[in-house]
Amino acid sequence: MKKVLFISAILLSALLVNISNGQDPTKEIFVQGNEAYQSGNYLKSIEYYNQIIDNGYNTSEVYYNLGNANYKLKNIPEAILNYERAIKVDPSDEDSEFNLRIANLQTLDRIEPLPMLFYQEWWESLSGWLSSDTWSLFMILFVFISFLGLTGFLFVYSPSIRKISFFILIFSFVFAILSFIFAQNNYAEETSKDCAIIFSESVYVKSSPDEEGTDLFILHEGTKVEVLDEVGIWNKIKLVNGNVGWIKQNTFKTI
């Protein structure tokens, strides 16, 4: 009996060592995708990266590499879509931002966004500086600092320390609230499906959700739109310049 228990213990220990030392299969697929990309086999690398995404690992690195592989194959809409998805996962992804600008130069449509007021630009820039997860961590940090400030203000009898604790409490509480707002805003953007990329070579935007609608303007592949509404197979879209209209669902892919 003791011999059986001893052998079982050895086998269990060996199994635990193998599990702890085993490689993440997703990491192996990612490495294989990178090797295929570096060897110029972009189609194969796309297969590997899509396999990772299909397994539920939606990271900015995978989307970024997928965008690069599609760009090499001149699949501009797919490249733009994946760069946008990378930025959606990680708003601080500067590499995807840069490559997205390069890919957008390959599109036909040149649509100028509506001008924003200076405080709107400042707010958008600050909010998009970090991802929702990072802002959430900052919020927790500032809440903890606020608690320390409150403790010092209530239980320390030194006037100078109480004064410092009070200012720490106020400032950290304000920053905690701002971090919470930024985290909420970014999370809503990261999880929303309100934006899409046109995949049809060209598509006429209609005035109403039917074939009889008036042709308002034409869009080409790679253009980014905001999806506002849905009626059957039609979706109402909006451009950054404020123009709106209707296009079919099979003409775009959501970010």
- Is the domain of 149 the same as that of 78? no
What CATH number corresponds to the domain at position 59?
A: 1.25.40.10
- Among candidate residues 156, 182, 181, the one with its CA nearest the CA of residue 169: 156
Amino acid 193: pLDDT: 66
pLDDT of residue 200: 96
Of 50-64, 67-81, 129-143, the one with minimum mean pLDDT is: 129-143
Q: Same domain for 46 and 85?
A: yes
Of 228, 189, 201, 224, which Cα lies nearest the Cα of 111?
224
Q: Is 200 in the same domain as 237?
A: yes
Domain with residue 241: its CATH number is 2.30.30.40
Domain count, the chain: 3
**Do 70 and 53 share a domain, yes or no?**
yes
Q: Give the C-alpha separation, 233 to 110, whole Å.
A: 27
47-53 long-range contacts, Cβ below 8 Å, gap at least 24? 52/26
Range of the domain at 213: 195-254
In-domain check, residue 111: no
When pLDDT is averaged across residues 65-84 and rounded to a whole number, the result is 98
Q: Are residues 186 and 212 in the same domain?
A: no
As a whole number of angstroms, the distance between CA 46 and CA 37 comes to 8
pTM beyond cutoff 0.75: no
Query: Does residue 246 carry a pLDDT above 70?
Result: yes
Residues 9 and 99 placed together within one structural domain of the fold: yes
- Shared domain for 183 and 219, answered yes or no, is no
Confidence of residue 7 (pLDDT cuts 50, 70, 90): very low
Label residue 123 by pLDDT band (50, 70, 90): confident
Same domain, 17 and 95: yes
* Between residues 126 and 138, the one the model is more confident about: 138
Domain annotation covers residue 113: no
- Tell me what pLDDT residue 9 has: 40
137 and 216 in a single domain? The answer is: no
Quote the mean pLDDT of the chain. 88
Percent over 70 (pLDDT), the chain = 89
Residue 155 and residue 81 share a domain: no
Does residue 87 surpass a pLDDT of 50?
Answer: yes
d(CA 189, CA 128): 10
Residue 192: band (very low, low, confident or very high) from pLDDT cuts 50, 70, 90: low
**pLDDT band of 126, cuts 50, 70, 90:** confident
Mean pLDDT confidence for 229-255: 95
Residue 219, both tokens = 């869009």
pLDDT tens digits for range 10-46:
434 443 444 344 456 789 999 999 999 999 999 999 9
Q: What is the pLDDT of residues 193-234, one digit of tens each?
A: 689 999 999 999 999 999 999 999 999 999 999 999 999 999
**Paired tokens of 138:** 């900052």
Strand order from edge to edge, sheet including 202-206: 215-220, 202-206, 244-248, 234-238, 224-231, 195-198, 252-254
Higher model confidence: residue 21 or residue 168? 168
Mean pLDDT of 144-163: 92
